[in-house]
Amino acid sequence: MRVAEWLESGGRHVWRPYCQMKTARPPLPVARTSGSRIELQDGRTLVDGIASWWTACHGYNHPHIAAAITDQLARAPHVMFGGLAHEPAYVLAQRLAALLPGDLNHVFFAESGSVSVEIAMKMAVQYWINRGVRGKTKFVSFLGGYHGDTLATMSVCDPDEGMHTLFKGVMAAQHIVPLPEDDEGEAALDRFLAEHAGEVAAIMVEPLVQGAGGMRMHRPEVLQRLRRLADKNDVLLIFDEIFTGFGRTGTMFAMQQADVVPDIVTLSKALTGGTLPLSAAIATTRVFETFWSDDPNAALMHGPTYMANPLACAAANASLDLFRTGTWRFQVAQIAAQLRAELEPCRAMPEVVDVRVLGAIGVVEMSRAVDSSSLSERFAEDGVWIRPFGRIVYLTPAFTIAPDELTMLTSAIVRFLGRRAVCAR
Ligand SMILES: Cc1ncc(COP(=O)(O)O)c(C=O)c1O
């Protein structure tokens, strides 16, 4: 079918994400991908600055991952996980437990980030129920945070800065508070928890970088403060590493920079190297043991249809093989240095309020929201794929991006932000 045909006729039926479809530009039709490049149907090639929402950490179409998926496809593309087992999932669970610090040993698979966060929330609430403690059903999460788009995960996102303001009052009420960045903040949260711990199941945070809520970064000591507060006030600690996991911040997991182990961690995004949907909520032995019982009601009653999909698990195992080489560490360090140097000129631009970098994440924060749809289209005219949101223009490229490709991305940002007023009036 010709592009114009499928794009136009299908476009009357596809409901696009995060998009006012009436006024948005049409999406760019993609023909194929390779490495850090997206080839469009009209023959243009874009250098990708986003790695498809941070998933394709090894670049697109990595032959090792592709071969693992093809091999698994011939064996068993999918079997239900209830009552049946398969090697890719059991091997992956073992490998994730070995990679994660501490005794984060018990892996529950799902198929999307949001669902793994919901499962972590259910685990936390049921942990207390199984221990015979009633009433601990709420969560403490943080301003600027983002944990997903489903109703329960929306309830722990920033209620004002996030994308869910319209739904205020519909979702469960949680306690969304400032991150404890200093002693004063820690003392304030301590006082809050002392008062509310009887109703709080867990604290939930994105460690080191609050991603989709605004790419805000905090110091590792914040995580140490949270661990202290959780222990002192008898609440669980959940790290949502869906964005930060798998090398993005310079360590395999962000939590390793703080030397802090949560009670539950969620993983997704780069888990399969950007090929297939897969996520996991992984609990420590302390949490898992409260579900290990002769009482059937103490079991975790959850089981998404496509959980632990064998193709996705085979892809994740292949992605972990690539991480085992260790090359990613140098790649991420080099990307960080290059982002720092090449985005620095933005700091002097009139509408820019901050430039920040951590690992393979480069952020230019504007004073006001930008028109994401038209900006990304203009970037595409420059040969790069960059999709700003809110006040944030950011890069999260594949770790395998070549230095000259990265320069194409940073120089497009510098050129563009320097050339004209991009913020909405
Ligand atoms: C930290 C974090 N948690 C949860 C999610 C939700 O993941 P998904 O979009 O796969 O449901 C995201 C997605 O951006 C995320 O960055």
For every residue of 361-412, DSSP letters joined together read EEEEEESS-B-HHHHHHHHHHTTEE---BTTEEEE---TT--HHHHHHHHHH
Q: Which of 111, 149, 119 is nearest to 279 (CA)?
A: 111
**Kind of pairing, strands 264-267 and 45-48?**
unpaired
Q: Determine which residue's CA is closest to atom 4 belonging to ligand 1.
A: 147
In sequence order, what are the beta bridge partners of 111?
A: none
Q: What are phi and psi of 243, to 5 degrees?
A: -85, -45
Ligand 1 pocket mutation, candidates 243, 278, 389, criterion most atoms within 8 A of CB = 243
For the chain, which residues score pLDDT lower than 70?
Answer: 162-163, 420-421, 423-425
Query: Which pLDDT value is given to residue 151?
Result: 94
C-alpha dihedral (400, 405, 406, 412), degrees to nearest 10: -150
Ligand 1 atom closest to residue 211's alpha carbon, by position in its atom list = 16
CATH number corresponding to 3-61+327-424: 3.90.1150.10
Provide residues with CB under 6 Å of ligand 1.
Answer: 112-114, 117, 146-148, 206, 211-212, 240, 242-243, 268
Query: Which pLDDT value is given to residue 211?
Result: 97
Indicate if 76-324 has the same CATH topology as 3-61+327-424: no
Query: Which pLDDT value is given to residue 421?
Result: 67
CA distances from 60 to 48, 174, 313, 326, 386 (A): 10, 38, 17, 19, 16
SS3 425: coil
Q: Determine which residue's CA is closest to atom 9 belonging to ligand 1.
A: 113
Taking the centre of ligand 1 as the mean of its atom positions, its distance from the CA of residue 294, in whole angstroms, is 35
Q: Which two tokens stand for residue 350?
A: 């009139």
* 138-142, strands of its sheet edge to edge: 104-110, 279-284, 264-267, 236-240, 200-205, 138-142, 175-177
Query: Which pLDDT value is given to residue 329?
Result: 98
Taking the centre of ligand 1 as the mean of its atom positions, its distance from the CA of residue 120, in whole angstroms, is 13
Catalytic sites, residue numbers: 18, 146, 240, 269
How far is Cα 2 from Cα 315, in angstroms, rounded to an integer? Answer: 31
Query: Which pLDDT value is given to residue 420?
Result: 63
Q: Which two tokens stand for residue 361?
A: 């994440």
How far is Cα 87 from Cα 333, in angstroms, rounded to an integer? Answer: 34
Domain boundaries of the chain, sorted by first residue: 3-61+327-424, 76-324
Classify 76-324 by CATH class. Answer: alpha beta
Cβ-Cβ contacts under 8 Å for 91 (sequence gap 6 or more): 313, 317
| Whole-prediction pTM | 0.97
How far is Cα 70 from Cα 56, in angstroms, rounded to an integer? Answer: 18
Ligand 1 pocket mutation, candidates 114, 204, 265, criterion most atoms within 8 A of CB = 114
Taking the centre of ligand 1 as the mean of its atom positions, its distance from the CA of residue 96, in whole angstroms, is 19
Query: Which pLDDT value is given to residue 173?
Result: 93
Cβ pair 315, 273 in contact under 8 A: yes
Query: Which pLDDT value is given to residue 351?
Result: 93
Q: Determine which residue's CA is closest to atom 8 belonging to ligand 1.
A: 113
Taking the centre of ligand 1 as the mean of its atom positions, its distance from the CA of residue 239, in whole angstroms, is 12
Q: Which of 217, 224, 210 is nearest to 258 (CA)?
A: 224
Side chain identity at residue 320, one-letter code: L
Query: Which pLDDT value is given to residue 9?
Result: 94
